[in-house]
Structures are given as C-alpha cells and as structure tokens.
C-alpha cells in the first residue's frame, strides 16, 4: 500500500500545543481532487498561522466588511455565502484537510476572490492572527457537540472563547452560532447571555430564527435526517 509522505503532501494542519482541543484530526482520506486542489489553489487561498497578524486590506486588496467562520467542515455553505455576499470578505478556519481541499477546489473553479482559509486551530488563529475589533461578523455552525458529559470540556463554546471572540468583533458586529444538539444550545445560550459585551438580537434568553444569510449546512441536513432540531443564536457586540 502506498504510504503518504510529507514530500507527497506537504500541507499540514497548523496548531500550537494545548491541553484540551475541540477536535481530533481524523485521518480521513482525501480524494484525488481534494489533494490536487492544494497544489492548484493553496497559493491563492491559503493563509498561515505562522505569518502573524492578518492584514485583510492587503490580502483582499480592498476595504470591505470581514466575516470569519470557524469549523466550515466541507465548506459548501461558506462558499455559498461568499458567492451570495460579494461585498464582504470571508475568512474560514478548519482543521480537517479534506474539507479545506474541497472548499479551495470549488472556490478556485468558481473564481471566488473574497475568500481565504486557514488550515489551523481556530483558537491559535484568533490569538495570533485576527486583529482586535476587526470582524463585522463571526459564525460558528454546528460545532462538534461532544455528547458525553466527560467530554463537555472539549466544547469550543466556553466563556473564555466567547470573550476572545468579542475582542475580535467590531462594536455592532454580529456573533452567530447554530447547533442541532439541544443540550449544547442551552449551554451556548447560558454562556452568551452571561457575556456583558453581547446583546441578544432576539431578546434576552431567546433563540433566533435562522437569518436569511445562513444557508443550510451539511451537518444541519444530517441532523435533520436524524430528527434533530436546530437552534440559532444571534448576538450583537455592544
């Protein structure tokens, strides 16, 4: 069997050492198309955690509202949003290489200019690359729910994470979360309601209707097939 070497495929997920991670990097196999996408399009779309603070104006060659999405999965909904809102620039962060490959492949074929991606741990990217008060919108759709109680500490939505995100949002910027796991939705609501820098657009303690700008995601459809509900949470940075 052919063993993949770093020479065959030099693109690696970037992260710093930490004790608790919100993900496990799965050894999911990449399709030939996803693999080729890195050679064809990583140079156009890829950003590195190790390049330090992001200068969005320089990267996109214009001044435009900036949207950041963490955990875009296979990337179809993020690509649809970038296509639907050409007046905004989009940054996606994902640790799963096949999803990154799929997104940059489809973006490259469609000639999308308002999108860039990090293949890295989002917490590291937030800390090292995203300037304070630079985001107009932040989105996190169907993050891994970590069902078992003993794994709840791995859930990415925690008070400290939300505080970090708030520091990256502009005043008036939107924070949009969605999940198909009721217990996680309740946890998100509790954490967001307790953050004084945020105001719930739906009214205190309320979930929001799905805003027009969010397409259905792959994980959302999977949840629906399993009979799950969907909870959107939409807050504004004070």
Ligand X SMILES: C[S@@+](CC[C@H](N)C(=O)[O-])C[C@H]1O[C@@H](n2cnc3c(N)ncnc32)[C@H](O)[C@@H]1O
Enumerate binding residues for ligand X (CB under 6 A): 22-23, 70-73, 93-96, 99, 121-123, 141-144, 156, 217-220
Residue closer to ligand X by CB (options 143, 173) is 143
Sign of torsion over alpha carbons 201, 202, 205, 210? negative
Residue closer to ligand X by CB (options 2, 29) is 29
At its nearest, how many Å lie between ligand X and the CB of residue 143?
5
At its nearest, how many Å lie between ligand X and the CB of residue 52?
18
Residue closer to ligand X by CB (options 41, 141) is 141
Residue closer to ligand X by CB (options 62, 127) is 127
Residues in a beta bridge with 68: 91, 138
**Was 144 annotated as part of a binding site?**
yes
CB count in 10 Å sphere of residue 92: 30
**Was 87 annotated as part of a binding site?**
no
87 included as an active-site residue: no
At its nearest, how many Å lie between ligand X and the CB of residue 24?
8
Active-site residue, selected from the candidate residues 128, 136, 144, 232 = 144
**Was 63 annotated as part of a binding site?**
no
At its nearest, how many Å lie between ligand X and the CB of residue 62?
26
**Was 148 annotated as part of a binding site?**
yes
**Was 186 annotated as part of a binding site?**
no
Write out the binding residues for substrate.
Answer: 148, 180, 217-220
Write out the binding residues.
Answer: 69, 94, 121, 144, 148, 180, 217-220
- Give catalytic residue positions: 144
Write out the binding residues for S-adenosyl-L-methionine.
Answer: 69, 94, 121, 144
């Amino acid at each position: 069997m052919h063993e993949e070497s770093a020479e065959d495929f030099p693109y690696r997920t970037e992260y710093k050492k930490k004790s608790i991670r919100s993900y496990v990097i799965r050894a999911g196999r990449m399709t030939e198309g996803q693999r080729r996408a890195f050679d064809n399009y990583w140079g156009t779309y890829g950003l590195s955690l190790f390049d330090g603070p992001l200068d969005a104006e320089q990267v996109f060659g214009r001044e435009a509202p900036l949207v950041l999405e963490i955990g875009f999965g296979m990337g179809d909904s993020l690509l649809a949003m970038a296509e639907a809102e050409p007046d905004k620039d989009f940054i996606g962060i994902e640790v799963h290489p096949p999803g990154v490959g799929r997104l940059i492949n489809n973006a490259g074929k469609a000639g999308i200019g308002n999108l860039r991606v990090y293949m890295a741990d989002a917490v590291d990217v937030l800390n090292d690359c995203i300037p304070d008060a630079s985001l107009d919108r932040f989105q996190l759709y169907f993050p891994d729910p970590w069902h078992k109680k003993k794994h709840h500490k791995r859930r990415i939505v925690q008070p400290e994470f939300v505080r970090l995100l708030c520091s990256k949002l502009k005043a008036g910027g939107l924070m949009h979360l969605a999940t198909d796991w009721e217990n996680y939705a309740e946890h998100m609501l509790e954490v967001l309601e307790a953050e004084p820098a945020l105001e719930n657009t739906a009214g205190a303690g309320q979930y929001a209707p799905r805003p027009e700008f969010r397409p259905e995601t792959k994980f959302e459809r999977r949840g629906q097939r399993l009979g799950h509900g969907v909870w959107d949470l939409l807050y504004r940075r004070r």
